[in-house]
């Protein structure tokens, strides 16, 4: 079966055909974990898709100190940052990242949470774009700053207090995108001060199970549905996705969106926030 919301993905061919389309803005949303030693901004400056803007989730974020990095900014701050890039509400936004499919869904979700639904992720990412010998550049595009209207849909995000309340009520299914050894607490967390484990009552669906990592694409619709069914994502409860810091949780979210299961929200602080708090319970072992 095909995806219900297939228009949230575009091919590299589609992007190549729209490089000069004034109604399209291409965004490089590459983000790398600190342990990789890589710098998304530096890699963008070295090479990117012609006309692509750099979207740094560590810059377009809540500026106040928080335990978890790149938390969602206010609607006003998001609008100012995006408008300064030259992105308007009338344009179609296409997001890609360096490694195929990692951080682009986070940027996709940010636009949608702030009311911009005309946004999609490019399949395959920049790695595969280069492998296909498509054009790249180090030239930085400059677009005239414009007005962008952003309205935060708070129902699409979850706070730590809401997740704490949900432990008692179990009204929502908390779905964790991290690898199994991080979920069960057998693998230490890389971030200092973050204890291992998972949120009590949560379920584990590693994001790697619903994508082809090498190809940078989602699995077919039937495979996605089967994976979500196994995890209990059957539509009976809203799903709150979580991961290390709110990035790969959006891969699960985009996967659910592709197959028409849109009753989900993001726990923005994710395990970095939960695991660093003294008053939160850290469960160990399998779900």
185 Cβ contact partners less than 8 Å away, ≥ 6 residues apart: 196, 197, 198, 282, 283, 284, 285
124 and 162 together in one domain: no
Q: Which of 104, 130, 152 is the last residue of a domain?
A: 152
Q: Are residues 114 and 166 in the same domain?
A: no
Give the integer Cα–Cα distance in Å for 115 and 195.
Answer: 35
Q: Domain range spanning residue 24?
A: 6-152
Domain boundary among 130, 152, 174: 152
Cβ within 8 Å of residue 200, ≥6 positions away = 167, 281, 283
Specify whether the CB–CB gap between 103 and 247 falls below 8 A: yes
71 class by beta-carbon count within 10 Å (0-12 exposed, 13-18 middle, 19+ buried): buried
Specify the range with the lowest mean pLDDT, choosing from 54-68, 128-142, 167-181.
54-68
**What backbone phi and psi angles, to 5 degrees, belong to 108?**
-55, -45
Residues 116 and 142 in one domain: yes
Spatial separation of the C-alpha atoms in residues 106 and 97, rounded to whole Å: 10
Question: Euclidean distance between the first and final Cα of the chain, in Å?
Answer: 30
Query: Total structural domains in the chain?
Result: 2
Q: Residue holding tokens 């377009």? A: 60
Residue 215 lies in a domain: yes
In this structure, the answer to whether residues 30 and 147 fall within a common structural domain is: yes
Question: Is position 133 within any domain?
Answer: yes
Which one is catalytic: 15, 243, 247, 250?
Answer: 243
- Supply the pTM of this predicted model: 0.96
| Average per-residue pLDDT for the chain | 96
Poorest-confidence range of 25-39, 149-163, 193-207? 25-39
Give the separation between CA 20 and CA 22, rounded to whole angstroms.
6
∠ Cα 44 45 49 (to 5°)? 55
Q: What are phi and psi of 74, to 5 degrees?
A: -75, 165
What is the mean pLDDT of the segment spanning 207-227? 97
63/165 same-domain check: no
Calculate mean pLDDT across residues 142-147: 96
Buried-state track 85-101, b at ≥16 Cβ within 10 A, e below 16: bbbbbebbbbbbbbbbb
Does residue 54 lie in a domain region? yes
pLDDT, tens digit, 9 for 90 and up, residues 272-286: 999 999 999 999 998
Indicate if the pLDDT at residue 1 is higher than 80.
no
DSSP code at position 242: E
pLDDT classification of 36: cutoffs 50, 70, 90: confident
Q: Are residues 143 and 17 in the same domain?
A: yes
CATH of residue 263's domain is 3.40.250.10
234-244 pLDDT per residue, tens: 888 999 999 99
Q: Which of 152, 185, 206 is the last residue of a domain?
A: 152
The average pLDDT across 48-54 equals: 98
| Other Cβ atoms closer than 10 A to 200 | 15
Is 243 a residue of the active site?
yes
Cα–Cα distance measured from residue 36 to residue 207, given in angstroms and rounded to the nearest whole number: 18
């Amino acid at each position: 079966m095909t995806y219900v919301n297939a228009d949230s993905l575009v091919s590299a061919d589609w992007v190549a055909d729209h490089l000069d389309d004034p109604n399209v803005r291409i965004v490089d949303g590459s983000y790398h974990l600190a342990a990789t030693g890589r710098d998304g901004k530096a890699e963008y400056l070295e090479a990117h898709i012609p006309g692509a803007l750099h979207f740094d989730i560590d810059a377009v974020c809540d500026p106040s100190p928080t335990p978890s990095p790149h938390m969602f900014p206010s609607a006003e701050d998001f609008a100012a940052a995006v408008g300064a890039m030259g992105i308007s509400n009338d344009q179609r936004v296409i997001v890609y990242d360096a490694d195929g499919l990692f951080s682009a869904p986070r940027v996709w979700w940010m636009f949608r949470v702030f009311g911009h639904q005309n946004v999609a992720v490019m399949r395959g990412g920049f790695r595969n774009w280069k492998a296909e010998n498509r054009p790249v550049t180090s030239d930085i595009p400059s677009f005239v700053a414009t007005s962008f209207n952003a309205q935060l849909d708070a129902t699409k995000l979850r706070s730590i207090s809401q997740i704490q309340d949900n432990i008692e009520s179990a009204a929502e299914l908390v779905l964790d995108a991290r690898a199994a050894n991080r979920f069960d607490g057998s693998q230490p967390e890389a971030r200092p001060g973050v204890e291992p484990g998972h949120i009590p009552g949560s379920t584990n669906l590693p994001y790697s199970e619903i994508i082809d990592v090498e190809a940078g694409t989602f699995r077919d619709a039937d495979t996605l549905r089967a994976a979500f069914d196994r995890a209990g994502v059957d539509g009976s409860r809203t799903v709150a996705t979580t991961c290390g810091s709110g990035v790969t949780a959006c891969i699960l979210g985009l996967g659910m969106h592709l197959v028409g299961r849109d009753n989900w929200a993001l726990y923005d602080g994710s395990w970095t926030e939960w695991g660093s708090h003294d008053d939160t319970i850290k469960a160990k072992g399998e779900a």
